[in-house]
Homo-oligomer: A and B are copies of this chain.
């Protein structure tokens, strides 16, 4: 695979993580840049947490920098280093995209939830008016819950940590129909795992498949393995499924929209 040649007119996005060797987003960004004829690259940077403040401070000054994409373990730390944040960042305390405005101000966004919903729609599932069972009320679960509520789903959130579960439901109470337990008449059209269950050799299931209606959509956000044992079992039972890598891929349009907002002309 080849990319565009880098020149003095190229704009760029840093991808901040530690480690960084595993990231896939730079290839997705390169494909977007090639398809749209945009002279821009995404550069992965292996940055320890101690170097984050200097990195973001430097980035404020770089006129041909569009911002940064943030991956583990820096999403929380970066949320505290930007000048303004989106509602999803305020809710989750995590930030995965930083837009650099022309004046050097940094704005933090969180696209995990948008990417999840974008992937659902690409897979033919529109959450509007549907009943959704979400498992996991951590950072990723909160981002997905907000995006699903905003997309018009009726949402039940379950977490083994009941205090965390209740706190998230309370914070989302103004965002639509978000509940702590399945009410009468609730029929899950989508079950989503937003916990680490199934990651890296774990064979456990985050939610029982046995009682789900056959047409219930089953979605996981675990990135590795791409297909968790739960997803494999769901597919074998005839359910439509969505994997963690599909959520990641679904974020690229949202990431690009955020980074390119309010930009025009060449800088340098």
Q: Once the chains are docked, how many angstroms separate the CA of A267 from the CA of B45? A: 10
Q: How large is the interface on A (under 10, 10 to 19, 20 to 34, 35 or more residues)?
A: 35 or more
Number of copies: 2
Let me know if A36 is at the binding interface, CB within 8 A.
Answer: no
Query: Are A9's CB and B30's CB within 8 A?
Result: no
What B residues does A65 contact at CB under 8 A?
Answer: 45
What B residues does A45 contact at CB under 8 A?
Answer: 12, 62, 64-65
Let me know if A236 is at the binding interface, CB within 8 A.
Answer: no
What B residues does A54 contact at CB under 8 A?
Answer: 54, 57-58, 61
Let me know if A63 is at the binding interface, CB within 8 A.
Answer: yes
Chain A 1-19 interface residues, beta-carbon cutoff 8 Å to B = 1-10, 12, 19
Contact of A44 among B10, B22, B48, B58 (CB under 8 A): B10
Closest Cβ of chain B to A20, distance in Å, is 4
Identity of the chain B residue whose Cβ is nearest the Cβ of A42 in the assembled complex? B6
Query: Are B30's CB and A8's CB within 8 A?
Result: no
Query: Are B5's CB and A3's CB within 8 A?
Result: yes
Given contacts A5-B3, A20-B268, A30-B5, contact A55 B61 (CB under 8 A): yes
Closest Cβ of chain B to A213, distance in Å, is 40
Query: Are B44's CB and A51's CB within 8 A?
Result: no
What B residues does A12 contact at CB under 8 A?
Answer: 43, 45
Let me know if A27 is at the binding interface, CB within 8 A.
Answer: yes
Q: Once the chains are docked, how many angstroms separate the CA of A99 from the CA of B252? A: 34
Chain A 84-115 interface residues, beta-carbon cutoff 8 Å to B = none
Give me the interface of A with B, judged by CB distance under 8 Å.
Answer: 1-10, 12, 19-24, 26-27, 30, 41-48, 50-51, 54-55, 57-58, 60-65, 266-268
Q: Could you give 8 example pairs across A and B, Cβ below 8 Å?
A: A1-B5, A5-B30, A8-B19, A10-B43, A12-B45, A41-B43, A46-B63, A54-B61
